[in-house]
Amino acid sequence: MFNITLNKILPNPILSLILWIIWLLLNNTVAAGHIVLGLIFAILIPMWTASFRPENVRVKAPLTLFKYFGIVLWDIVIANLMVAKLIMGRNDKLMPAFFRIELDIQTPLGISFLANTISLTPGTVSCDLTKDRRYLLVHALHAEDSSEIIKQIKQRYETPLIKVFASC
Amino acid sequence: MLDWILAGLVLLGAVFTLIGSIGLYKLPDFYMRLHGPTKATTLGVGSILMASVLYFSFTTESVSLHEILVTLFLFITAPVSAHLMAKSALHIKIRQVEHTQSDQE
């Protein structure tokens, strides 16, 4: 009984939490009034906008998600250094490449997370997604062995994302 | 001590933003140039914002964290715009350097 009402009030707890935190950050305060006002918005906005979201995505493993963010942040730092070196080097030594990644992840939100991650980690930019959502086209600034990059992306980013998002 | 950390962070941010812009200028084709701005917005802006958080948290009474929002919005919007540009570039078949490898037939 309690669960059902909770689901109705908070159809999307993670979204509510994010909205609440964003509200507090926007106001740059933790004053009691803003905490309450933010909470009200965090409950009302997901309810009002529910029809904009075609599918309700559930985060199955929030801990894995946080670990994933940690990994991505670390990779951004490392990859930045590598790409900075590539840019300062000679142009004709670069080996740009297009390659396709066969996707195992199926949820739209998961795919957008993966595509965003690929673009954020410097050195690779996601360029296109096939209509059937099975392949992601990626451009790499310097790929000595594109199959190695694909393997790393699948193992490092896709596997945890599959664990995190489940459609319901 | 704080001054040194702040100076280091701002300098680091400036250096990465500069390298990103150099990449934008000197890389040979459109797709490769896309990689330049992704750098400037991640580590470059990231460390400048970190310096801002530290500065305003230590010099004023309150903790200042709304810089995190800038990072968050950049991290969401930058890849999307890069993706859209790359997609349209592919669509109108913009020239790519000849030795670009491709697994497409």
CA dihedral of residues B14, B28, A96, A77 (deg, nearest 10): 0
- Is the Cβ pair B42, A28 closer than 8 Å? no
Any CB–CB contact under 8 A between B38 and chain A? yes
* Chain A (145-164) residues lying within 8 Å, Cβ to Cβ, of chain B: 146
**Which chain A positions have a beta carbon within 8 Å of B65's beta carbon?**
25, 28
Could you give the residue ranges of the DSSP H alpha helices within chain B? Answer: 2-26, 30-33, 35-39, 45-59, 67-91
- Is there a contact between A96 and A133 (Cβ–Cβ < 8 Å)? no
Assess if residue B28 is contained within a domain: yes
Assess if residue B99 is contained within a domain: no
Pairs from A61-66 (Cβ < 8 Å, separation ≥ 24): A61/A163, A61/A164, A62/A14, A62/A164, A64/A160, A64/A163, A64/A164, A65/A160, A65/A164
SS3 content of chain B, % helix, strand, coil (to 5): 75, 0, 25
- Is the Cβ pair A98, B87 closer than 8 Å? no
User: Residue B38's domain spans which residues?
Assistant: 2-91
Q: What is the mean pLDDT of chain A?
A: 81
pLDDT in tens, B1-12: 888 999 999 999
pLDDT in tens, A77-112: 888 888 888 888 887 778 888 888 888 888 888 888
**Which chain B positions have a beta carbon within 8 Å of A96's beta carbon?**
29, 31-32, 96-97, 99-101
Any CB–CB contact under 8 A between B65 and chain A? yes
**Two structure tokens written together for B99:** 């030795």
pLDDT in tens, B27-38: 888 888 888 777
- Does 1.10.1760 match the CATH number of domain A59-167? no
Any CB–CB contact under 8 A between A123 and chain B? yes
**Which chain B positions have a beta carbon within 8 Å of A83's beta carbon?**
23, 35, 39
Assess if residue B76 is contained within a domain: yes
- Alpha carbon distance A58, A43 (integer Å): 17
Assess if residue B103 is contained within a domain: no
Any CB–CB contact under 8 A between A141 and chain B? yes
- Is the Cβ pair B43, A76 closer than 8 Å? yes
- Is the Cβ pair A125, B42 closer than 8 Å? no
pTM assigned to the model: 0.80
**Which chain B positions have a beta carbon within 8 Å of A118's beta carbon?**
79
pLDDT in tens, A111-163: 888 888 888 887 888 888 888 888 888 888 888 887 888 888 888 888 888 88
pLDDT in tens, B71-99: 888 888 888 888 888 888 888 887 777 77
For A132, the enclosing helix (H) or strand (E) is: none
Residue span(s) of chain A under CATH 3.30.70 come to 59-167
Any CB–CB contact under 8 A between B64 and chain A? yes
The interface pTM score, or ipTM, of the predicted complex is: 0.78
Number of structural domains in chain B: 1
Any CB–CB contact under 8 A between B103 and chain A? yes
